[in-house]
Each structure stands twice: as C-alpha cells, then as structure tokens.
Structure 1
C-alpha cells in the first residue's frame, strides 16, 4: 500500500479521520442503492459515481474491498414514511404490471445507465425481497431486546426507550426532544406509541400486492430494516464504510444505527460518508419544478432545459470536478465547460498511450521539469488521500497534461526527465484517468480505422497540394467531432474541444 495516509470525513464524528480498516487489508463498504420504480436520474448518478471512485481508489491503494450496494424492491413507501403505498406497488398498479416486473425493468435500466457512467459493478448486489427471513429475524431480535413493540400485526421501533441508553440523532445531529415537539400535534393518532417511532414490519392490507408471512401475520419489511439485514449479512455486524446521499442521513441512516445498536450492541459502520445534493440551475431537482432530469434525457438531450446532449463521460467528469461533499449545480454552461475539460483529458490520454521512451544522449536532464512532474504526482495523490478530493486531483492532472502535450509537440524530450520520471509521468496520468477517476474514450472502436484512413488521404492530398481535397477531409473530420493536427513530423487528430 502507498505510504500516504488516507483521511475520510466521517459524518458521525463530523471531522476527517485517518482511515484504519477494522481488519486490514480487507475493507467492507455498504452503499444504499436505488429504489427501482422509475428511470435513474441525477440523484442516482452522484452517489454511484462517488462511491465507485472510492472503491477504485481503495483498490488502487491495495485494499481488498467487498463493495455491497443493495436494490430496494419492497418496503419503501411514498414520502419515505411509515404509512401509504409502496413506491413499486404504486407504479405496478399504474402500469398494470406485477410489482416484480416493475422492479426488474428499472433494475435493468439502472444497470444500463451505471454501465454507461463506467461504474464498476459492486461485489454483491442484494435485493430486499431476497432477504425477508433475515429481516424477520432482526425484528425478533429487537423485540427480544425490549426495544420494539407489536401493534395489530405491525412492529415499531421504540425510539424513546432506545434513547435511554443510546443517543438517537447522533449521526444527523437531530435532538430527540425537538423531534418530539415537532410531532406533538400528531400524538394519539395512529398505532405508534410516539410519532418518532419507525416501522420494522408493517401489516399488509388485503389489497397490498407484496406481502410475506411472519410471526405477526402477513406483512412487509420497513425500508430502514432492509439495509441493516443485508449489510450485516454480507459485511458483519460492524464494518468499515457506509455510504449514501446526504438525503438518506435522516431518517434512513439514523434508523440503521439505532437498529444496529439494538440488536448487535454496536454501530453498524466505523466511517459514514455522505455525498452532497445536486441542483439544477440553482434549484433543487423536483418533478413539480419541471427540472427533473433522468440520465437518459441527459445523454440524449431530450429534456426541455437542455441545450444539447451530454455524454455519460461528460457527466462523470463533471461530477468529479467537485468534491463529493459539495453541492453540485447542473447547468448548460457548466456541462459545456465539463465537456471541454473531459475532451482535453481524453486527448491527453491518447497522446500518453502513444508516447514511448527513447534514450537521447544529446538531451540533458532538466531538473526543474523533473521537480514539477514529481510535485504534480505527489499533489494528485495527496488530493485523493484528503477525503477523495477528485476536484483538486484533476487540477494536478492538468499540470501533468501540459508536460505530456509538450513532449508530443517536441518542446520537451523524454530525456529531459530521464527514463524513470518519464515513465512515472505517463503511467500516473493513465492510471489516474482510467483506473482511479474511471474516465474512458467514448469514441466507437469502428471509427478509429476510419479516422486513420481519412488522415492518410489527408496526407496524400496535402503532399499533392490538392487543397480542395484537404479542406473536404478536414471538414468531414470536424463534422465527426475531430480536428486535424498538422505537425512538423506527423499528422494526427484530436477531439474538438
């Protein structure tokens, strides 16, 4: 593993902490996945890209990571509440489908969009419906601890009793007394002892589509319970990292901590990580505001707020240009700037892969250039070690890119750096772009051969001084999104930025 000390901002402690896995080199990471009742949107993309990058970097450092990301296909009620319809069942009724048809359809489209964003598949992707026995067992364990109660076939977590020993609200900073005061007008309504209590198991009404037999009758699990059951099954009662969007901090993750302490007598995770929210033109995304954008709408440019289509790698790059704990605002101006930045990086990636070291005895080492390269490499790693600061890391990559471009144009020679530093420059740039940041060239493989043929024809026309033909080929390449690079000793192409 690298000598750098990785630090992670732990939501639980509200500070950066040195990352020390429970059983190094093994790392367990659980991330809350989607509720599959609609097409994936920007709110799904940010945690997926954030924790994919965390996964990639931990692997790069030499850790053996088990990455678990769930699929919620039951139990998530409308409004994230304990009453109302199941989100998937509601969609199934609207489309006259079986709930599992809805869940499968949107699981498939979620996977399609995550593949386009070049996220690595998690080690395990469990579904809530596949873990009903484990969830029933958890409810029984919490009941045995005296921290839950059953009413008319439903089971609720007793938050006030739990709070006598553990602090409910320690993750989100919520104060139970204030939560109680905020729900006082609802006291006496419903079957809960207190409105702050949350459902572990809900009795199913006769018309409810998804239900299972349990010691308390036909019902279905509470949304919060699912993650506790699946994380503890695959990662143990206490694991390294729990991640998700900031919107899940309360009540979802707070309830997970309560459940974990109730039945396992310890917090589920050592480090809690939360990515911040996204906005659209400065506003929170919402269907009522008309700015709800799915990933497919972004990729095709079909939403009314979009001036053009933005490729999956442009979206991924844009997300990486902000620290994951910062709010990220999507606008056409910002996305167009990201498109240019992404193309610059990929043009550099192409050049880096073309460059080969050659010994040049006539070129003396340039100590200043060596110092600059080594500094940029160190700073890129320091940025990632500082709570996965991809935004700063990308800035240092652009410093390396300047050196790569100077090598390609002949302003600098490999010999200026010496073999070791030259190879480190090239390999670091490639590894950061492809392996750590997860960016890739989106050009169809079939176009590579076509471009090479057109460049050959371009060179022949130029030699023959057939300038009309030269202009035609240049225009054809530009139409495809490429520009011709005329250099002293070669002709090449690059993405038009």
Structure 2
C-alpha cells in the first residue's frame, strides 16, 4: 500500500507505525463477553471493530492469531472485589447450574456474532478452562512480592508495585490521585488499601463456582483470566490488546500490573480501545431503560425501536463511525445505515456483474485512469490511518459512482483500460466483502423468484399490458425490491 499502517496506541496516546514483534505473524487478544445474558448493542461494537481490524491485517498479508476470551467465572456484580458472581446469580434465579447459564449465553452470543458475520477467533479460551494457569500466575506474583493473602483471599499490592513501576500508565492516572479520591477502608474490608484488587477470592460456603487452590477453596479475580490466557496463547509479550473503552480502567490497568509483576514485561505493544455506544445521547444501561439486545434489534421488539433492523444494517451502522469515536444510536441513524447498506450491496451486485469488454475505437483516458487509481488508493489510506472505516466508506461510495457510471453507459470501461477497470472492481468488492464483512441479505423473495417475476414483467411490458406491469412492480416494491428499466435490459435492486 502507498501509506504505512498507523494505529492509535492508548499506551503512548499517539499514532504509531505498526511494526509487529515477529512479522508477518501478529498476536492479538481482545476481551470477550461475560456470558450471563443475551448479547446487546454494546457487545456488537467491539465485535465488529476488531473483526474489521483482523480482516484488514489479514488482507495486508499478516498471519493473525486472534484470541478472544469468554468470561464464565469471576466477573462480580459491579466488577468489584465484593458481591456475587453474575453467572452464579443468574443460575440461582433460574435454578440451573452455572455452566448451563454460561453455555446457553455463549451459544446465544455465537449465534448473534454469526448473524453479524463476525469471523470466529483463532482461539476462544474460557476462564473456567484455565484455572490452573491462573493459580500458577498468582503464585508467581506472590513469589515476586506483589501479592498478599488475607483469610484465604489473595490481593495484588498496588502500592508495592507502584514503587517499582508506575501503576496507571495506560489510563494516565496517578496512584496519589486515586488514593485521595477513595474512601478509607480501615475496618471495612480485608484489603490493605482501596486500590488493591483480588487475584483469588475465598468462596463462601454457598458460592456455586469454586476451585481448590494453595490459599483456599475459591475462585480467581476477574482481571486475572486475560493475563493468564493471553500469555498462554500469545506469549508474555504480543502485538495488540483490544477491548472497550470501559475496560481501560481498572481491567486493562490491572492486566498490565499483573503481567509486569509475573512476566516482567508489558503484555501488549499496542493497546486499542473502541469507544462506547450511546442511545439518543445517553449512555446505554438497564437502569435507564435503553438497554437493547441484538435480538430485539433484529426483531424490532423494543419500545425504543420503530422497526426491525437487520444484522447487516447494524454492522454497517458500526462501520460508519471510527472505532474510537462515540457512536450514538437512534432510529434515524439506523434508517440512514439501512439505506447506505442497501446502496453498497446494490453496488456490489453491479460490480460483480460487470465484465471488461475491449473497444479499440476508444482511447484510454489518462485523467480518468488517474482519478480511479486515486479513489482506490484513498480507501486504503483511510484504513491505514488507524482503521478509519468511516472515511474508507466515503471513498468507497466515490468508487461506486464510477462503477454506476459504467453500468449506465455514462463512462466507457475502455476509457479506463482493463487494468484500471479491474483495480476499481477488485477494490470495491474486496472492501465490501473481505474487509468490511458486508454480505447480501436475501430479500423475502429468492433471487430466482425475482428473476421469474422480471420475465413476466418484461413480457407484460412488451405486450403493453401496463396494468400487469404496475402490479408486478408494486408487488416487488412491497418486498423491498425495485425494478430498473435500463437501456438494454431490465434489472432489479434493493430499495434504498
């Protein structure tokens, strides 16, 4: 590509040239879902963002090992060190085994990710399947002097760690400021200070998910699983660690501290964080009544929804904002995304249909050729600038204008020449399908049924049976399909 890939590293707060530790291999770890409920709109944001990043890196020729975990234990209510495990709480409410809850919602998550056309990760480890690794890591941290035990629970000593290496380098927070902003826990807890976090918690007798360890029968702290599993599958230091902005502090900050204490190295070279989704300007949350699951979106079954929105509409909606930008949900925004998605797919149908036909009577237009080359290059430049999908989509629409001009006869493909014409088609198709992961969602009417109706439409038109022409056109439109009377043919497209 004409520009080098640069990405914004949360750790350095600058855009850096992407230089993998062991190119062409890239190790990437992204924090996955906690499986105690149906996947919601917030789950779709990181799933789509990092799916596109993996797709683009693969397109550039990198061999990506993509690890995305499943949190099925240790994620306490409020993400604190006290309270009840979210999965265990759900299991008690539904009178099921915790792993039944975890399996049910893992399957549900996978179903929704498949609908969004999210590629499966290379490895999808579960926290419950890596208890020995987490215990071993705790022991190493303990042996290094950065952990202490109280009544069978083990905590990370943040102040001790901070004397050797600054705690807060990812979020830019200072321990002194964090200490002054927290209440005194003296007599109210077993931690030495409020910043310490649990590596292992002793389980109460009624706690459902628990394992044996050198310190007690208990369970690992939430922050630990990502450190243990990323090290197991990607090594002590790997290329990219991703996740939502809400995980930056304390989760990812704790990961850095744990990994340094155990492995004497920052776990990741680059830290990437997707921003959050707001709904009509408000943060999404169950307490605000604006919490929308993906199935509710797909089916239109939520009081905030005016209609259903298809999985590809949701995916396209995610792509229209840079992954580090806040994305505001509204019916208006989703309707615009629905229209944009259909326009892209109509263009894809045209691009795949066009085949180069030489015309020796037409001389290639050098200006037109350079213009098309620049449009293609612009799409790559946008993605090379910290995976700016929003800007790349804008350039893609400019390419589509050229494709449509050829399709309607306003521009001759011979003016571009075979090589530039093919570059234009390949760039458009590659970006839509391979990089952005968009695919055609079949109309209610199957393609072959539409073709039959178009044959009847053509026959009626030739017979000047305009009542039947209007009837067929209306029936197709009711299914979201429009008839296009071209100069030499009759085609159909999705209604935009």
- Does TM, scored on the shorter chain, surpass 0.5? yes
Counterpart of 1:13?
Answer: 12
SS of structure 2 residue aligned to 1:169: coil
Q: CA deviation at 1:173?
A: 1.1
Q: Which runs of 5+ in 2 are unaligned?
A: none
When structure 1 is superposed on structure 2, of 171-180 and 22-31 the one drifting more is 171-180
CA distance in 1, matches of 2:207, 2:305: 39
Counterpart of 2:377?
Answer: 378
CA distance in 1, matches of 2:87, 2:102: 7
Which digits, 9 at most, give the CA deviation of each residue in 1:453-473, with x for residues without a partner?
011110011001111110111
CA distance in 1, matches of 2:266, 2:444: 48
Counterpart of 1:242?
Answer: 241
Q: CA deviation at 1:305?
A: 0.5
Counterpart of 2:362?
Answer: 363
Answer yes or no: is 1:22 the counterpart of 2:21.
yes
Counterpart of 2:268?
Answer: 269
Counterpart of 1:479?
Answer: 478
Counterpart of 2:184?
Answer: 185
Counterpart of 1:308?
Answer: 307
Q: CA deviation at 1:446?
A: 6.8
When structure 1 is superposed on structure 2, of 8-17 and 177-186 the one drifting more is 177-186
2:444–2:479 contact (8 Å) kept in structure 1: no
SS of structure 1 residue aligned to 2:44: helix
Counterpart of 2:109?
Answer: 110
CA distance in 1, matches of 2:472, 2:409: 26
1:29–1:67 contact (8 Å) kept in structure 2: yes
SS of structure 1 residue aligned to 2:399: helix
RMSD: 0.9
Q: CA deviation at 1:10?
A: 0.2
CA distance in 1, matches of 2:458, 2:107: 46
Q: CA deviation at 1:363?
A: 1.8
SS of structure 2 residue aligned to 1:433: helix
CA distance in 1, matches of 2:302, 2:455: 40
Q: CA deviation at 1:261?
A: 0.2
Counterpart of 2:198?
Answer: 199
Aligned length: 496
CA distance in 2, matches of 1:436, 1:346: 14
2:184–2:194 contact (8 Å) kept in structure 1: no
CA distance in 1, matches of 2:308, 2:168: 42
| 1:65-214 equivalent positions in 2, closer than 5 A | 65-214=64-213
| 1:322-401 equivalent positions in 2, closer than 5 A | 322-401=321-400
CA distance in 1, matches of 2:255, 2:216: 24
CA distance in 2, matches of 1:476, 1:402: 29
CA distance in 1, matches of 2:183, 2:471: 75
1:187–1:195 contact (8 Å) kept in structure 2: no
Q: CA deviation at 1:188?
A: 3.5
Answer yes or no: is 1:226 the counterpart of 2:225.
yes
CA distance in 1, matches of 2:137, 2:412: 64
When structure 1 is superposed on structure 2, of 279-288 and 444-453 the one drifting more is 444-453
Q: CA deviation at 1:365?
A: 1.4
CA distance in 2, matches of 1:186, 1:292: 33
Alignment TM-score, normalising by the size of structure 2 = 0.99
CA gap 1:289/1:184 in 2 versus in 1, 3 angstroms: closer
SS of structure 2 residue aligned to 1:186: coil
CA distance in 1, matches of 2:196, 2:74: 16
When structure 1 is superposed on structure 2, of 440-449 and 311-320 the one drifting more is 440-449
Q: Which runs of 5+ in 1 are unaligned?
A: none
When structure 1 is superposed on structure 2, of 181-190 and 75-84 the one drifting more is 181-190
2:146–2:156 contact (8 Å) kept in structure 1: yes
